[in-house]
Amino acid sequence: MIGQTISHYEVIEKLGEGGMGIVYKALDLKLDRPVAIKFLPPDLNASRENKERFIREAKIVAGLNHPNILHIYDIDEQDGRLFFVMEFITGETLKSHIGKLKSGENISLQQAINWTIQIGQGLRAAHEKDIVHRDIKPENIMMTRNGLLKIMDFGIARLKSDTDSSDTDTLSGTLAYMSPEQAQGIIEDHRTDIWSLGVMFYEMLTGDLPFRAEHEAAWIYLIVNEDPLNPSSHDRRISPAIDSCVMKMLEKDREQRFRSADELLTTLRQVQIDVEQATQSVKTKAIALLPFQNISPDKESDYFSDGLTEELILNLSRLENMRVVSRTSIMQYKGTNKDIKTIGKELGVRYILEGSVRKLQDDLRITAQLVDVETDAQLWAGKFRGKLSDVFDIQEKVSEQIIDALLVRLSPTEKGVLCKRCPQNAEAFDYYLRARDALYRWTKNDIKSAIELFQRAIELDSRYAVAYAGLGEAYATLYQNFERKESYIDRSMEASLKALAYDATLSEAYAALGLAYFEKKMLDEALSAVQKAIELDPNSFVGYWILGRIYHTTDRDREAIELYKKVVALNPDFYTVRMDLRTVYERLGDKENYEDAVRNELEVYPRYIARYPKDPRAHIFYAVALARAGRIEEGKREAAKAIELNPSDPLMLYNTACFYAKIKEKRLALDSLKNSILAGFENYEWIRRDPDLDSIRNEPEYIALIEKKDQSSK
C-alpha cells in the first residue's frame, strides 16, 4: 500500500490499525496537504454489513463540525476497497500523555480539567446530533501540538434513537472504560460516554484506573458492583469538588449521572474556577498598582503615566508568588477620590502602590509609595529623578523595592524576568506607550495612528517583542472593524509571530494572533492561540473576548455567555462585550437576561461617556441601548453626537444603521448600512447574524446587498 496512489492520495506511511480500520498517512495531490486515510481491512471488506458500518461511521463524523472532533473530508472506493479521508494531525494520542504519569511526570489539576472540558465539548456536539460514541478512551483522543484535543474513531458509534439491539449480545467498547450498561449488554445512551470520560478524568488525576482486575469477568463485576476510591485518596491535592464531579460521572445508575454533557461542562467550569481561585489564594501577596498621576505640565503625557503603570503591572504579574490586579481593573480608579482602604476592599488586595509622574521633555521624575491598607502603614516610598533613557532602570528599581518591601522571594529565573519587556531604546519605549494609548481609543484614525507609532518603535528597536505584539493587534483590529483588507490580516499574523519569535511567553502576542486567525476563519488555530494567551495571562480579557466570539460564531452561545461575563469582570470599561452579551441573549430568546443586559448597558455607557465624551462608538452604542429601552428621542441625540464626532467611520455608520433599524426607520437604516459598506465595513457574516437589523431583513435593498456579496464571493 505504501507508495501507491489511491484516487488522488499518495500513501506515505502506516499510522495504526484497529478492528474496524487501517490508517495511513497520505498526501492529497490536489490540495498539497497531508491527510489520514482509513481503509476497511481486507478480511472485513467482503461483508456488506461491515461496509455499511464503515460508511455509517464516515457519515456520522462528516455530520459533526466541531474543533474537538476530527474532521472528515471525503469517502471513496477503489478496487473494491472502501476508504475515507480525514484531517491529519501532527501530535500524539492522550494515552501517551497519561502514560507519562507512570514515570512521575504529573498532569496538573488545571490541565486534567481543561482536557476533560475539551473532550466534553466534543461529546456535547455529538450528543446534540443524537450520536453516542461508545468507545471514549485515551487512544481515541488525539492531541495537536497546540494542545487541542480531538475525538476520533466513531467506528462503533450509534444513533441514540437507534433501538436495534442486534449488537448487544457482544460487548461494545473497551473494557477499562466500559460503562455498567455496556458491561451488561443494555442499550447505551449519551450517559455512557459521560461514564467513559469519567474514567479518563480519574486516570488523568491519579495515574490509575478506577477499576482493575486480572481477567474480564472480574473486571466486569467491579464495574457493575463496586464503587471506586475517591480520586483524593490517591492525591490529597484533589479537592472535594473534583471528587464529587468524578464520582457523579461514575455513578452506576445512569439516572444518577450528569443528565447531559452540557450539565457536566457547567460543573467542570465551576470546578475549574474553584481550582484557579485556590491556586491564586496560595499567592499570599496581592497588590494593586493604581494609575500613576500625571503631574506633567503637558497633560497629554497621560499616555506615559498610564503606560508606565501598565508596564510595572505586567512585569510583576509574571512573578509566581504575587497576585497583581490587572490594568483594566485599576483604570477605573484613575482620578478617583476614593480612599485607599475602600479601593483595597473593592479589589480584594492588602497592598496598594500609588504615585505620580512628571515628564518635561527629556526630564523625568517619579514618586511612589507602597501602603498596607489593613494597617495604613507606609511600607516603602521612593523618589526617582533622571532622563527618559533612565526609565528602564527606574522601572526595575520600583519593582525590586516593591518585592523587597513585601518580602517576596524570587527564583533566579524570575529575577531575569523583571525587565524582560524593556526595549534597548528609550525613544522606542515612548513611541510604544503612545501607540498603546492610541490603540485603546479604538477608532479608525487612532488605530492607524497606533500602527505608525508601533512601527516607529520597531524601527528604533528591531527586536522589541511587545511592540510587534501591539502591531499585530492593531492590524487585526483595523481589519475586524474598519477595513476588510486581507493584507491587514497577513501583517497582523506576521507581526504577532515575530513577537513570539523574540518572546514566546507574550500573552498579548497570542491574543493578537488569535484575533487574526479568527478573522481569517481559521477557528482551530484561533482557539489554540487564545487558550495559550489565557494560560500565560489569566487576566487576558482580549483572549477571553475572542474565545467568546469563536463560540458565538460556531453557535455555542451558552459557552460564549460565560466568557463574555469573564471579560466584563476583567475590564468593566470594555463596553463592546456588553453589546456581545446582549446580542447572545437576544439570539437565545432569553428575555430576562436580555433585559438585564440592556439595563446594564444603560448604566455603563453614561458613566463611560462622562469620562470619555469624545468616544463616538460609546455614543452610538448608547443610542442603540436607548432605542431598546424605548427612549427614542434620547437615542437620536446620542446617534447624532456619534456621527458628528466621526461621520466617515465605517463601524460608526454600521451601528447607526442598527440604531435606525431598532426604531424601525428603515430608510435611514438602509442608507446607513449601504454607506458603512461603501466606507469599508464588510463583515457580512456579522451583518447576517446581528439581530439589531432584523427589521430590515426582508427589505429588497437589504436582500440585494447580501446577494451581491454572495455573487462576488463565488
Q: Residue 273 and residue 682: Cα distance in Å, rounded?
A: 38
Q: Residue 393 and residue 398: Cα distance in Å, rounded?
A: 9
| 8 Å CB contact between 477 and 447 | yes
Quote the crossing angle between the two packed helices 426-441 and 444-460, to the nearest 10°. 160
Tell me how far the alpha carbon of residue 291 is from its chain's centroid.
28
Q: Where does residue 595 rank: exposed (0-12), middle (13-18), buried (19+ CB within 10 A)?
A: middle
Q: Residue 214 and residue 199: Cα distance in Å, rounded?
A: 18
| 8 Å CB contact between 119 and 156 | no
List residues with catalytic annotation: 135
Neighbours of 246 (CB within 10 A): 24
Residues 6+ apart with CB under 8 A from 663: 627, 632, 635, 636
Residues 6+ apart with CB under 8 A from 79: none
3-state secondary structure string, 541-559?
HHHHHHHHHHHHHCCCHHH
Q: Residue 458 and residue 468: Cα distance in Å, rounded?
A: 7
Tell me how far the alpha carbon of residue 117 is from its chain's centroid.
13
Burial 564-591 (b: 16+ CB within 10 A, else e): bebbbebbbbbbbbbbbbbbbbbbeebe
Q: Residue 446 and residue 440: Cα distance in Å, rounded?
A: 8
Quote the crossing angle between the two packed helices 465-481 and 486-502, to the nearest 10°. 160
Strand segments, DSSP code E, in 91-227 are 91-93, 131-132, 141-144, 149-151, 158-159
How far from 184 is each of 181, 226, 573, 696, 709, CA to CA, in Å?
5, 14, 56, 57, 56
Strands 72-78 and 81-87: antiparallel
Q: Residue 294 and residue 13: Cα distance in Å, rounded?
A: 65
Nearest to 478 by CA among 506, 502, 448, 456: 448
Residues 6+ apart with CB under 8 A from 319: 403, 408, 410, 414, 417
| 8 Å CB contact between 278 and 307 | no
Task: Let me know the angle formed at the C-alpha of 460 by 457 and 462, rounded to the nearest 5 degrees.
Answer: 90
